[in-house]
Amino acid sequence: MKTLKGPAIFLAQFIADEAPFNGIDAMARWAADLGFVGIQVPIGNPAFIDVALAAQSRDYCDELKGRVESAGVTITELSTHLEGQLVAVHPDYDELFDAFAPPELRGDPAARTEWATEQVKLAARASANLGLSAQAAFSGALLWPMLYPWPQRPPGLLEQGFEELGRRWRPILDVFDDCGVDCCYELHPGEDLHDGVTFERFLESVDGHARANILYDPSHFVLQQLDYLDFIDIYHERIRMFHVKDAEFRPTGRSGVYGGYQGWVDRPGRFRSLGDGQIDFGAIFSKLAQYDFDGWAVLEWECALKHQEDGAREGAVFIEDHIIRVTDKAFDDFASAGTDAAANRRILGLDR
């Protein structure tokens, strides 16, 4: 068995214009001071990484790694969540998602998709140059407006949607394969890949591509009322990244899974800081140890109530306390009879 690594923290929700949240050097020191040993870095802010330069220059990557490690942490993975989102956008969401693209591409969906595709590929090459084995992404969504089957979906619509999603992602995944890096999709509402069934549909569309894998985040499964422990049993061979994020679901007679268009504070399902929600992380860490997951346990802070810096400080301790240092011996070795093959035959009565 293997012991997973951590605690680490995803920087995206903390990045801001003021220090220490406005650059990778200061944020690395901030994270280390809180007790984290790793940082997960989004690619969209040049104050944290120049992804185009990282894709072509190992010298730059070595220098960046050295700066981060001198602060006491290491880069665990790169994140292309926003860029992956733009690989596939339904027209209903064009204006909303334009904010994720450079200003000169807004209003031009085709150019935006081309740019996003290239950004994800650049990040895969940057991950390889940084010596990383996994990268986070969203899948994007062509079918999300069709989530509920009303009005009735035309025959073949879902199949065509996943076929197109696979067509867009297959060449990206081939780049990941060339780089020796796994593309780990965070299964997330708003994405065509949001649960196990949709992930399986996508795998079929890319011929079971070995680099199409999963970023496991149980909080999204609580909000969908999906069994997040059984999910590990089913998909553990494809789980290559782990976001440690808590959530709670408290339905009422007025609102349930869909949330009634309410804000996060008032929704029955909402994200919480670690330890404040309903997720059984003891069971999750046990299952990941059982299945030899040796990746990083990365805090993703999202909470409707608690201040983000409190959530980060408490989260480092929470993850540290849940990491299982796996055993290198069987607990009942003391009672071993020390038998051999001949003794086993006698015990079974095979020599009578």
pLDDT of residue 335: 65
pLDDT digit of tens for each residue in the chain (352 aa)? Answer: 799 999 999 999 999 999 999 999 999 999 999 999 999 999 999 999 999 999 999 999 999 999 999 999 999 999 999 999 999 999 999 999 999 999 999 999 999 999 999 999 999 999 999 999 999 999 999 999 999 999 999 999 999 999 999 999 999 999 999 999 999 999 999 999 999 999 999 999 999 999 999 999 999 999 999 999 999 999 999 999 999 999 999 999 999 999 999 999 999 999 999 999 999 999 999 999 999 999 999 999 999 999 999 999 999 999 999 999 998 877 666 667 677 888 888 888 998 8
Buried b (16+ CB within 10 A) or exposed e, 157-185: ebeebbeebbebbeebbebbbebebbbbb
Helix (H, G, I), strand (E, B) or coil at 182: strand
Angle ∠(271,266,151) on CA atoms, nearest 5? 90
Question: Would you give the end-to-end CA distance of the chain in angstroms?
Answer: 39
Considering Cα of 290, then 220, then 185, then 274, what sign does the dihedral take?
Answer: negative
| 3-class secondary-structure state, position 217 | coil
Q: What pLDDT shows up at residue 336?
A: 73
Tokens of 225: 């009322």
How far apart CA 134 and CA 215 sit, in angstroms, is 9
Residue with tokens 């996943």: 162
Angle at 215 between CA 213 and CA 220, to 5 degrees: 130
The pLDDT of residue 293 is 98
pLDDT of residue 332: 67
**Domains parsed from the chain with CATH numbers:** 5-348 (3.20.20.150)
**pLDDT at position 348:** 86
Provide the sign of the torsion angle of the four alpha carbons 233, 281, 188, 212, taken in this order.
negative
CA distance 38 to 51: 19
| Whole-angstrom distance, CA of residue 189 vs CA of residue 192 | 8
Cβ(289)–Cβ(3) below 8 Å: yes
Residue 193: name the closest of 132, 235, 230, 154 by CA: 235
Contact 37, 7 (CB under 8 A): yes
